[in-house]
A and B are shown apart, each in its own frame.
Chain A
Amino acid sequence: MMVNVQGPWSPLLGRLSLGAIPDNPIIAGAFVFAAVLGAVILGYLTFGHKWGYLWREWLTTVDHKKIGVMYIIIGLVMLFRGFIDALMMRTQQVMACGPHSPGFLGAAHGYLLPYHFDQIYSAHGTIMILFAATPILVGLMNVVVPLQIGARDMAFPYLNALGLWLTAVGAALIMLSLFVGDFSHAGWVGLTPLTEIAYSPGVGVDYWMWAIQISSVGTTLGAANLIATIIKMRAPGMTWSRLPIFTWTALSTNIIALTSFPVLAVALGLLGADRYFGTHFFTAGLGGNLMLYSDLFWIWGHPEVYFVILPAFGMMSEIIPTFAEKPLFGYATMVAASFAIAGVSWSVWLHHFFTMGAGPQVNTFFSIATMVVGIPTGVKVFNWAFTVYRGRSRFDTPMLWAVGALFMLLLGGLTGMMLAMPPVNYSVHNSVFVVAHFHTMLMVVIYGIMGAVNFWFPKVFGFRLNEALGKRFFWFFTAGTIMVFIPMYTSGFMGMTRRLDYLSNPALLPFEIAEEIGIGFYVVSIYYFVRQLYVSIRDRATTRVGADAWGSARTLEWLTPSPVPFYNYAVTPRVHARDELVWRREQGLEGATVAHYEDIPMPKNTPVPLIIGAFALGLGFGLVWRIWWLTDVSLLAIIVTVIARSFVRDTDYMVKAGVVQETERRLRRNAPEGSREGEARGGIDMFRPHESNP
């Protein structure tokens, strides 16, 4: 039944043996780095007596804000890992350019062996899309959406925690693959039949497959949860026509996720059947068809692009009006455009294989369908421009990132329209031009995310991030983006293929050098980001904010104290307008406090999601190495845990009205109300729209 694999196998350890530890100085270096970092963290936790705090406040929490923050932390760590991969790739290409380029560490050219290089770029893509962008966005939606709609928590807090830990398991499996065994070398898209056992006999593809499979179960559950939350948990008065734009994009995005991730699960499941049971769904021979995989993968893969970009559009739609001190232009069209994009995203997947030899009828259909996405996207760009029109723009850090995202979108739109045209596509498909294009689009996401992190950080933590260092981060990052991707577009147009570990054409060397310099700018920008975090946390006493951290915020989440108490709203707010905070400000209600507090039911902490996550890690590891006893035990343990948890009735507790009142008073007293003079940013009392009108 089971497929025989190359190399030894034992019932106890499966394919795992000492030989699975890579013998490579680069990986050894990474291992030392990880070990030292791990030791420092463990030491801090142990000697600072932080284990109890960590367990109570974070590991067992079901609070949507803390879960969101943990998602974002996972995403940022993986973003860093993915960046190191990018740095290694660029360095390899600049070293291995031209026939006379030397080789180091046993490589023919450059310093990486081809098989190792292939794993690095496959890891880079997988990590950046699925383990950096996706968790950060899910995290931001987790933090912001319940606050924006006036809810106490997500619809299913326990399910929410489970989604987090399954995502963490996926990320952990990828990090494990670095030190035990190897990773897929078939690209983040899993090119068939290269992923079949004949061409990928190692455990790399299995790591890739199970990491994605397990984490996407989490993403699918999270999507169902967010949709339920938005539909059922809105505060009274929060009608559909008053829903904040970010929540709208979160809804469209999660509809995409809920409908597309199962397709990915099927594609990977069939691939798994090929690799483990010897079926032939995607092999070239014995009745298999590799095109079937491309079809299934991109039916998920293209909507996934919009899964990451729609929330970024939502973030821009929140940030730009706040800092232009004006409502968003064309609310209704913005909502319509989001759903149009989400809808059309389902009918364009074939543009990923225009070159597979489909007839011109098919290619034309998908070409035009792809271009149609440009219509609602164009509408969005124009609407943002008119939001700024007759406003009063302030260029705080979030605004810089949002405007940067807008310009990235213009560039990405131009090149996307080029790629959508098959005759053009036939000459640049699979070149680094395509790589530069989708990186430009992902930059829209990253710029949106960085804007959002700066924007909502004070809401969650109660103090602002340092502006000067944040701006430095922005400018160095932007310099890096320009230096890396403009040369990449150019060399792509000159015919440079993607995924090359050796470039025979020495004419490309200047572009490679420019890109390496761009990577240098990115390194500097990361330094400023870390420094921004450090300085902001150090100086937090002086940068505390009130409920409305920016003085011109518009939506409901800025009504609660910052940091937001664990129950979000002391009493569920009644919503009167689309921009509720502006409405209250104009009615003179902004400082109004609650007269009468009530008991609040809240969900209890639970370690069950963490336990299920731990067994899921065992399951994934067992499957990768074909350690069947571990697989069986883990799977059984997960089932037993889920059933056992379903008998637990006592999942909520009451927060007494007195506790709520005390917490509210303490948080409002901490806020720097009235403590600063004449400055536009800071406490809620700083904004007086009627007085400051010229």
Chain B
Amino acid sequence: MRFTILDVAVMLGIIVPTAIITTYFLLRYRKTNTNAAYDPHWSHSNLIELIVWAIPLLTVAMLGYESYKGTYAVNPYDPRMIKTKTASAANPGSAPLNVDVITTDWQWLFVYPKQHIAVANELVIPRGTPVVFHMTSATVVNDFFIPNLAGMIDVMPGMRTKQVLVADKIGQYRGYSANFSGAGFSWMGFKTHVVSSAHFTHWIQSIQKFPRHMDYAQFNKFARPTTNIDGKTPAFSHVHARLFDQVIKGVLDGKVYTTRMPPPGAA
């Protein structure tokens, strides 16, 4: 956010005067204003050309430096990220929570590998604990995005990406895919609940009692193309701890979840 404000401020500092000067020139030197000087040959001035190159050059140098700083500051692959994030959070020093994110056509599966549970289309995380997301897709590219908590990062089939976040406030946040992935894409939202640690432990235990289990075979059924119009959030217990790796291996071996061909002009 800081970078946005800085960037906009610097750019407005240049663009607004430019717009004003241009408008002023256009109005002052209009044909009907016979008081304004007219110089039909003036087309060059070393001083002005120098200024004209210098202003954008300096602006870009400055914004470029800020961009460099900013890009390093939000790098999820930097181990110091977790430390800085934790330091700012309400609950310092807690061990990070791992969540595996797997997207299908067109659902989210959040696997908590240590807790052996998984929930589809709903994410629950404890407040003040750094959460490390490992992400992959079973089909096409999606984009993991929770506007108020985490920036966008692509979720790609057969590949791993990573995101880190610490949530400071209890509450409910909207999350969704930001990269078009097919017909069910518009319904690929998920609610993110940030809860207290006690609540989180309790929630884990309740899911662990759920009757539906999930292994790779079960996942292959789950991953069949589904448009989640009703916003269903099925949960699974006894989830295979290495499901994430199994999915990646399957994709690399050529496993696809084929989309049926819709009739022309229809869904």
By a beta-carbon cutoff of 8 Å, the part of chain A in contact with chain B is 6-7, 19-24, 27, 106-108, 113-116, 118, 181-182, 185-187, 191-194, 198-202, 280, 283-286, 290-291, 324-331, 333, 353, 355-357, 359-360, 363-364, 367-368, 371-372, 374-379, 381-395, 403, 406-407, 410-411, 413-414, 417-418, 420-424, 426-427, 429-431, 495, 497-505, 680, 689, 693-694
Task: Say yes or no: B43 contacts A327, CB within 8 Å.
Answer: yes
Closest to B2 in A: A423
Residues of A within 8 A of B36 (CB): 390, 392
A531 to chain B, nearest CB (A): 27
Q: Judging by beta carbons under 8 Å apart, are B12 and A382 in contact?
A: no
Contacts of A385 in B (CB 8 A): 18, 21-22, 25
Can you name 13 A-B residue pairings with CB atoms under 8 Å? A22-B266, A199-B259, A200-B259, A284-B139, A291-B156, A360-B78, A374-B59, A376-B56, A382-B51, A390-B37, A390-B39, A421-B71, A431-B178
Known: A326-B40, A693-B38. 7 other contacts (CB 8 A): A114-B185, A280-B254, A325-B40, A355-B151, A372-B64, A390-B37, A423-B3
B64, B75, B177, B267: which contacts A360 (Cβ < 8 A)? Answer: B75
Contact across chains for B56 and A379 when beta carbons are under 8 A apart: yes
- Contact in complex: A182, B265 (CB < 8 Å): yes
The residue in chain B whose Cβ has the minimal distance to the Cβ of A19 is B263
CA distance A372 to B67 in the complex (A): 12
Complex Cα–Cα for A140 and B70 (A):
43
With beta carbons under 8 angstroms apart, the residue of B19, B178, B180 that contacts A187 is B180
B39 near A284 with CB under 8 A, answer no
B126 contacts partner chain A, Cβ-Cβ < 8 Å: no
B223 to chain A, nearest CB (A): 13
For B64, the chain A residues whose CB sits under 8 A away are 367-368, 371-372
Q: Which residues of B are at the interface with A, using a C-beta cutoff of 8 A? A: 3-4, 7-8, 11-12, 14-15, 18-19, 21-22, 25-26, 29-31, 34, 36-45, 48-49, 51-53, 55-57, 59-60, 63-64, 66-68, 70-75, 77-78, 105, 137, 139-141, 143, 145, 147, 151-154, 156-159, 161-162, 174, 176-187, 189, 227, 229, 251-267
Quick one: given A371-B64, A414-B11, A420-B67, are A181 and B18 in contact (CB under 8 Å)?
Answer: no
* CB of A222, distance to nearest CB on chain B (Å): 32
> Which residues in A have their C-beta under 8 angstroms from that of B158?
284-285
Closest CB pairs A-B (n = 3): A22-B265, A426-B151, A378-B56
Q: How far is the CA of A248 from the CA of B257 in the complex (A)?
A: 51
CB within 8 A of B265: which of A24, A431, A693?
Answer: A24
* Interface contact B7-A202, CB-CB below 8 Å: no
Residues of A within 8 A of B267 (CB): 106-107, 113-116
Question: How far apart are B162's CB and chain A's nearest CB, in angstroms?
Answer: 7
- Check A20/B43 contact, CB under 8 A, given A385-B22, A391-B38: no
Contacting pair A20 B264 (CB below 8 A): yes
Instruction: Give the docked Cα–Cα distance between A194 and B77 (Å).
Output: 28
Contact pick for B7, options A363, A386, A418, A427, CB 8 Å: A418
- Interface residue from B19, B25, B264 paired with A22 (Cβ < 8 Å): B264
- Given A328-B43, A414-B12, A504-B189, the answer on whether A422 and B53 have CB atoms closer than 8 Å is no
B157 touches A193 (CB 8 A): yes
Tell me which residues across on chain A come within 8 A of B39, comparing CB atoms.
Answer: 326, 390-391
B71 partner residues in chain A, CB cutoff 8 A:
360, 363-364, 367, 421-423
Are A406 and B22 touching (Cβ within 8 A)? yes
Query: Quick check: A19 and B264 within 8 Å, CB to CB?
Result: yes
Q: B77 to chain A: closest CB distance in Å? A: 7
Report the minimum CB–CB distance from A360 to chain B (whole Å). Answer: 5
Cβ 8 A contact of B263, one of A23, A327, A386, A411: A23
Q: Which of A181, A427, A500, A693 contacts B185 (CB 8 A)?
A: A500
Nearest-neighbour CB distance to chain B for A271, whole angstroms, equals: 14
Q: Once the chains bind, are B141 and A191 in contact (CB under 8 Å)?
A: yes
**Structural contact, A194 and B52, CB atoms closer than 8 A:** no
Measured between beta carbons, the chain A residues less than 8 angstroms from B68 are: 364, 367-368
Q: Tell me, in angstroms, the Cα distance from A505 to B229 when the chains sit together.
A: 14
Whether B67 lies near A27 (C-beta < 8 A) is no
Question: In the complex where A24-B265, A202-B262, A326-B43 touch, is A393 in contact with B255 (Cβ < 8 A)?
Answer: no
In the complex, chain B residues whose CB is within 8 Å of the CB of A199: 105, 139-140, 182, 256, 258-259
Say whether B11 contacts A413, CB under 8 Å: yes
CA distance A189 to B240 in the complex (A): 37
Which of chain A's residues have a CB closer than 8 A to the CB of B37? 390
| Contact B67–A371 (Cβ < 8 Å) | yes
Which of A191, A382, A407, A413 is B140 in contact with, Cβ under 8 Å?
Answer: A191
Q: How far is the CB of A505 from chain B (nearest CB, A)?
A: 7
Chain A positions within 8 Å of B18 at CB level: 381-382, 385, 410
Partner pick for B181 among A194, A327, A377, CB 8 A cutoff: A194
**CB distance A389 to B72 under 8 Å?**
no
Question: In the complex, what's the smallest C-beta–C-beta distance from B93 to chain A, in angstroms?
Answer: 26
CB distance from B16 to the nearest CB of A (A): 9
Q: Which A residues lie within 8 Å of B255 (CB)? A: 285
Alpha-carbon distance between A291 and B256 when the two chains are bound, in angstroms? 18
Q: Smallest Cβ distance from A683 to chain B, in angstroms?
A: 18
- B179 contacts which chain A residues (CB < 8 A)? 191, 430
Is there an interface contact between B15 and A414, defined as CB atoms closer than 8 Å? yes
A393 to B24, CA, bound (A): 12
For residue B85, give the distance in angstroms from its CB to the closest CB of chain A.
15
Q: Check A421 against B70 for contact (C-beta < 8 Å).
A: yes
B173 to chain A, nearest CB (A): 11
* Bound complex: CA A629 to CA B186 (Å): 41
* Separation of A583 and B72 alpha carbons in the complex (Å): 56
- Contact A356-B156, Cβ < 8 Å, known A24-B265, A285-B253, A379-B52: yes
In the complex, the answer to whether A185 meets B183 with C-beta atoms within 8 Å is yes
- A383's partner among B52, B141, B151, B261 (CB-CB below 8 A) is B52
Query: Judging by beta carbons under 8 Å apart, are A430 and B152 in contact?
Result: yes
User: Could you say which of A371, A392, A406, A502 contacts B31, with CB atoms under 8 Å apart?
Assistant: A392
Chain A nearest CB: distance from B27 CB in Å?
8
- Min CB–CB distance A599 → chain B (angstroms): 40
